[in-house]
Amino acid sequence: MDAIVGAGGVVRADDALQSVAPVGTPKALLPLLGRPMVQYVLDAISKVARIQNVIVIGLDAQHGLACPGKQLVYLPSAGSLFDNARQGCRAILERNPASRLAVWFSADVPLITPAMVDWFLDRTLESDRDLFYQLIRREVMLKRFPESRRTYTHLQDRVVCAGDVAAITPVVGAGAHPLWEQITGARKNPLRQAQIVGVQLLWLLLTRQLSVPRAEQLVGQRLGLSGVLLDCPFAEMGMDVDKPLQYALAERELRAART
């Protein structure tokens, strides 16, 4: 399998993280205990045997990153999350047209571990779907990180937030439906995402009647792919660092892991 690490984006003047790093700093390079945040993600990937190649988008070799045992490739940012994911899938296909799966990692989830990644990859082998996406139940997140301040979505039988590791068949990702750009652009706004997919999905979400199987069906019909929403038991896979509070939380957890 091949991995894509999305490391684009910089600290902007209106960004709360400017209290942590100067404006213009790549967010993936925010220092955590003296190391770039993205390096913790690469450390986890490096210990996952099923991943051979790692494409880092938005940084370059001068940043001194390492992923021992893997072939590390750098690409410049193509702009949006959608553009970067599509660019990564196309680069994977150029190297290996038969590649089955591209695994997407956000650079800002420094608390993930190899065991969590292996759990996710095991789930992708259980079916031949095109897309694998994680949902983390609110009770799982709050038990592990009660102060995390995630954005939650109310489904029919659960309240969830999104994970930050996903997988897609590279052929599908390389030619992704244009609506994906709008959906990924609205990733912090579940209601806007539902509106983009269609009125039926939006209505079911607003009335809290949307089930996971129905969501998979409606998204698949609208975007022309088969996907699965995985019930993820690991809060760390959705604990991205967007705000100073979450940065402090990640720093605390990493420091505790060293002791």
Convert the pLDDT of each residue in 158-202 to its tens digit: 999 999 999 999 988 887 555 555 556 655 666 666 666 666 666
How is residue 186 annotated by DSSP? T
DSSP string spanning 95-137? Answer: H-TT---EEEEETT-TT--HHHHHHHHHHHTT---SEEEEEEE
Q: What is the mean pLDDT of the chain?
A: 88
Give the other-Cβ count within 10 Å of 221's Cβ.
13
Percent of all residues in the chain with a pLDDT value above 70, rounded to a whole number: 88
SS3 content of the chain, % helix, strand, coil (to 5): 45, 20, 40
Q: What is the pLDDT averaged over residues 28-43? A: 96
* pLDDT value at 203 more than 60: no
Q: pLDDT per residue over 39-93, tens digit each?
A: 999 999 999 999 999 999 999 999 999 999 999 999 999 888 888 888 999 999 9
Architecture of domain 2-258: Alpha-Beta Complex (3.90)
141 band by pLDDT with thresholds 50, 70 and 90: very high
* pLDDT value at 25 more than 80: yes
How is residue 243 annotated by DSSP? S
Q: pLDDT per residue over 214-240, tens digit each?
A: 888 877 777 777 889 999 999 999 999
- Gap between the Cα atoms of 208 and 213, Å rounded: 14
